[in-house]
Amino acid sequence: MALRTRIFSAILARITTPVEEAGDFKTLRAERRRLQATAVGRRVFGHTDKGALTEEIVLGTGQRALVHRPHGAIGPLPCVVNFHGGGWVQGNPEQSVWLASRIAVRNRVAVVSPAYRLAPEDVFPAAVDDCWGSLTWVVEHAAELGIDPQRIAVMGDSAGGNLAAVVALLARDAGGPELRGQVLIYPGTEMYDRWPSEDRNADAPVLTSRNMRTFVRLYLGEQHGTEDFRASPIRAASHVDLPKAFILTAELDPLLDNGTRYRDALVAAGVPVRYAEYDGAIHGFLSLPGVVPVASRALDDIVGFLREVL
């Protein structure tokens, strides 16, 4: 683990309230937004690429979204629909601006980062419904947005990686929209099973085993125990005919095995998969480029994958 990552992790442990001890989630989310907006927050979370134009729109779901495009781009552009992380309980599109805006510039694409309803106020499957609705709305309004509806990929990190995987399954089952690829960044793919990486990294920075279990209980609410694939995409009856995937995991992440097990499920179903594990990386590292140096290499890898599929 890089020195700056160690320092950040130590400070984070001192100043943040674990989700299992939180009571007022609205206040917790507001504090996160304020931190992101500070000079220190911008240094940690990164800032929008200078070559990107960013605007906020409202989707048909009623949720807002940030749309990143390269300066001077003439459409229609390929599009990446990107779902933020945060354990289905917190998070926002702004936390992805470093990654999303750089992909927009380097791949010459539009990146749409929608918000979605969060637990515990809105439990499963509210987030799934919003993310599916965001994807279909973007495709239906392609001309208005200046995008090519035949060149679409989905992307997400952590809980957003879960939602991206679920949306890819829903698109396959619905017969469209046809997706060119799915980028799953340290995704949560299984709600209940405990795998070795969770024990190995039970008290890791950013995400602990206790955090994981609390997020799942808050997200599923009274449906805790469901085997619905929309909660655990690894439990889908079939993974055949899904779009080509790029799965990224972090060495020091309790969710690492969620990524490797999903990789294995896709490979077994004949889905082309690219896989990368980043040494010394912690959960959430692609939202923390200022303190996790390997984020830049992971960005390069995502850009390369999207260049191939879009």
- Under a CB-based contact definition with an 8 Å cutoff, are residues 169 and 298 in contact? no
Whether the CB-CB separation of 55 and 146 falls below 8 Å is answered with: no
Task: Name beta bridge partners: 77.
Answer: 147
- Residue 152, CB-side half-sphere exposure with 13 Å CA sphere: 27
Alpha helices in 221-294 (DSSP H): 256-268
**Active centre residues (catalytic):** 158, 253, 283
User: Which residues in 108-169 belong to E strands, given as ranges?
Assistant: 110-114, 147-157
The 8-class DSSP code of residue 20 comes to: G
CA angle 231, 283, 244 (to 5 degrees): 55
125: preceding bond cis by omega (within 30 degrees): yes
CA pair distance 3, 6, nearest whole angstrom? 5
Q: How far apart are alpha carbons 254 and 188 in whole angstroms?
A: 10
Helix (H, G, I), strand (E, B) or coil at 252: strand
Around 217, how many Cα atoms within 13 Å sit in the side-chain half-sphere? Answer: 8
Q: Which of 262, 256, 283 is nearest to 200 (CA)?
A: 256
Instruction: Provide the 10 A C-beta neighbour count for residue 175.
Output: 7
